[in-house]
Amino acid sequence: MSQDRTFDVLTATCPSRTSLARIANKWTAMVVIALSAGRMRFGDLRAKVDGISGKVLTDTLRDLERDGLVSRYAYAEVPPRVEYELTELGHTLQSPLRALGHWAEQHIEEVLTARESYDARR
Amino acid sequence: MSQDRTFDVLTATCPSRTSLARIANKWTAMVVIALSAGRMRFGDLRAKVDGISGKVLTDTLRDLERDGLVSRYAYAEVPPRVEYELTELGHTLQSPLRALGHWAEQHIEEVLTARESYDARR
DNA sequence: CCCATTGGTTACGTTGAGGTAACTGGTTAC
DNA sequence: GTAACCAGTTACCTCAACGTAACCAATGGG
C-alpha cells in the first residue's frame, strides 16, 4: 500500500516512462478532457475534440482502451453505434490532465508575450 | 483578473492549443520535472533525464525558453558552460507536470496489467 | 608543438506520427 | 435503384520528431 520508490519516469528503462509517453500527449489530453463530460459516442467525441482526424481518434482511443483508461461499448446496430467512457483508472487521470488544459488556457497570454519578445530578440 | 472564458484547448484554432501541444509532451514533462530540483547545467540535466539525446534536449530547452518557462544563462568560458532554471511562469507548470509523472509511477502496474489482458484478448 | 579534453550546437539521415481519401456494412428514406 | 447514415479500416503520402556523429574553441598535459 505504501509508496515503493521502485518506479522513476526519469530512468530510461523504467516501464513508467512508456506510460508517461502516452499520457503526456496532446491528443490523449484532449480526449480525456472531452470524456470528462461523461460517456460519449465516437461522432460526438470527434466533434468535441475539434480538428482531430478519424484515424488519430481511433488510434488514441484504442491505446487508451489497451491501457485500461477507457471502456468501449459497441452496439451491433446499423448504422453502428459505439460509446466510450473513462474507466475508474481513467478518472484518476482526469484531474492532472484537466490541470494541464487549464494551465494552457490561463497562461496562454503570458506565453504569447514571451514568444514575441523572444522572436524579436533574434 | 477574473477568468475570461475566452480560451478553450478543445477548439482547433484557439492559441491555447499550441501551448497545450508543447506542455503535453513527454520530453517537456521530464525536463520540467528534472528542473524542479533547481538551476542546473546542460550536462547535469542531460544525465538526469536519462536517455535524452543532446539534440532533443537542446530543442526542448529552446522551446521552453521561447515560451518563457525557462531561463538560459550562458558563460563565455571554454569549455562552454550554460545553466538553465525554471522561470516564475515555469514554476506554475511544475506541479501539474509532476502530478503527471507521479500518476505514471503510481499506476504503471495497473496499466501493465490492463495491457496484458487486452493483448491476450486478441 | 600537438593533441586530447569539454559542453553545446548543427548537419544529416532515418523513423514514425499523423492527414486524406476511398471503401465497408445493412437499413431507411427518396 | 440509389443515396445517406456511422464507425471504423486500409493504403498512401508528407512532414515533423528523433538519433548519430561531426564540429567548435581555449586550455592543460605530454
List chain A pLDDT tens, one digit each, 122 residues.
555 568 999 999 999 999 999 999 999 999 999 999 999 999 999 999 999 999 999 999 999 999 999 999 999 888 899 999 999 999 999 999 999 999 999 999 999 999 999 988 86
Q: How many Cβ atoms are within 10 Å of A88's Cβ, its own excluded? A: 10
Residue A85 located in a structural domain: yes
- Give the nearest partner residue to B67 out of A30, A89, A115, using CB atoms: A115
Which residues are in reach of strand C, CB within 7 A? A 25-27, 51-56, 59, 78-80; B 41-43, 46, 54-55, 58, 61, 74, 78-83
pLDDT score for B116: 94
Residue B42 located in a structural domain: yes
| DSSP bridge partners of A40 | A84
pLDDT in tens, chain B (122 residues): 555 568 999 999 999 999 999 999 999 999 999 999 999 999 899 999 999 999 999 999 999 999 999 999 988 887 888 899 999 999 999 999 999 999 999 999 999 999 999 999 87
Name the residue of chain B whose CA is nearest to A29's CA: B24
B114 vs A50: CB contact, 8 Å cut-off? no
Q: How far is the alpha carbon of B28 from chain A, nearest alpha carbon, in Å?
A: 9
Please list, in sequence order, all residues whose beta carbon lies within 8 angstroms of the beta carbon of residue A34, skipping any fewer than 6 positions away.
Answer: A40, A45, A48, A49, B10
Within 13 Å, how many C-alpha atoms sit on residue B94's CB side? Answer: 15
What pLDDT digit, counting tens, does each position of B93-112 carry?
999 999 999 999 999 999 99
Chain C nucleotides near the protein (CB, 7 A): 5-12, 18-22, 25-27
Query: What's B30's domain CATH number?
Result: 1.10.10.10
pLDDT score for B40: 92
Number of domains forming the structure of chain B: 1
Residue A3 located in a structural domain: no
Quote the DSSP letter at residue A49.
S
Q: Which residue is nearest to nucleotide C6 (CA to C1')?
A: B79
pLDDT score for A2: 55
Domain of residue A72: give its range: 15-121
CA–CA dist A34, A80 (Å, integer): 21
Residue B101 located in a structural domain: yes
Closest CA to B103 of A24, A33, A60: A24
Composition of chain A by helix, strand, coil, percent to 5: 60, 10, 30
CB contacts of A95 in chain B (<8 Å) are: 99
Residue B48 located in a structural domain: yes
CB contacts of B32 in chain A (<8 Å) are: none
Contact A28, B24 (CB under 8 A): yes
Residue type, A113: T
pLDDT score for B49: 94
pLDDT score for A17: 95
pLDDT score for A121: 80
Chain pair A-B, CB pairs under 8 angstroms:
159
Q: How many Cβ atoms are within 10 Å of A13's Cβ, its own excluded? A: 8
| DSSP bridge partners of B110 | none
Residue A1 located in a structural domain: no
CA–CA dist B116, A73 (Å, integer): 20
CA–CA dist B70, A75 (Å, integer): 49
Residue A93 located in a structural domain: yes
Grid coordinates belonging to A120: 524579436
Q: Which residue is nearest to nucleotide C19 (CA to C1')?
A: A53
CA–CA dist B98, A4 (Å, integer): 17
Interface test with A, best of B4, B13, B31, B67 (most A CBs within 10 A): B67
Residue B28 located in a structural domain: yes
Name the residue of chain B whose CA is nearest to A20's CA: B104
